Chain A
């Protein structure tokens, strides 16, 4: 029962991020909430590919006496998580650029004051 802790951590991260993205009024706090959700999903992807008592799938100086396909961790989810992290960085850069643009035009970061399109 104690070994399901990574999954519980994933649930906590997703719900903290969802709370920050829905119930807060500052734009920067919403952006931080979306980033926390993405970190939680990456952690879930890596945890799915774990084998009990395994080592990394690298052949340079293995610890002596490991049998290959039964004691190595799966390499494919790690490759997909790399792509997902880079996509998160790209989305974060574009979100922050738009937030800077909004702050120049309206002068405030409160979501409930940016309701009409000002001229």
Chain B
């Protein structure tokens, strides 16, 4: 078992070093690139959607289709749990 542990620790260290050096290749801290869509959403929320909340208007109006998929996932999780524990009788 010792050879396997040493190989696993070596693999972890190499992957961690790669992860650490890729931090400095992202966009600089606090200045994200590609902000055209978000600027349009922030400026036009109040007269297109009619709410004050930017996050809720993105979740339910600009990207409502993803919320439909999320509701389906919640429903299928409840259906799966009720199907696993179906045969419990007293």
Contact = CB atoms under 8 A, between A and B. Distances in A.
In-complex A–B contact (CB below 8 Å): yes
A119 to B, nearest CB: 19
B70 A76 contact: no
B58 A76 contact: yes
Contact of A97 (B41, B58, B73, B84): B84
B8 interface: yes
Contacts of B70: 82-83, 86-87
A82 B23 CA distance: 24
Interface in B11-27: 12, 16, 19-20, 23-24, 26
Given A3-B29, A18-B12, A50-B30, 4 more contacts: A4-B23, A59-B53, A72-B42, A97-B84
Q: Classify the interface of chain B: helix, strand, loop or mixed.
A: helix
B61 to A, nearest CB: 11
A90 B12 contact: no
Interface string B39-81: 1011101100000111100110001001101100110110011
B7 interface: no
A97 B79 CA distance: 12
Interface size of B as a range: 35 or more
Interface of A: 3-4, 7-8, 11, 14-15, 18-19, 22-23, 48-53, 57-60, 68-69, 72, 74-76, 78-80, 82-83, 86-87, 89-91, 93-94, 97-98, 101
A50 B66 CA distance: 22
Given A69-B39, A83-B67, A94 B77 contact: yes
Contact of A94 (B26, B43, B80): B80
A11 B20 contact: yes
A75 B30 contact: no
B8 A23 contact: yes
A74 B35 contact: yes
A76 B41 contact: yes
A93 B32 CA distance: 35
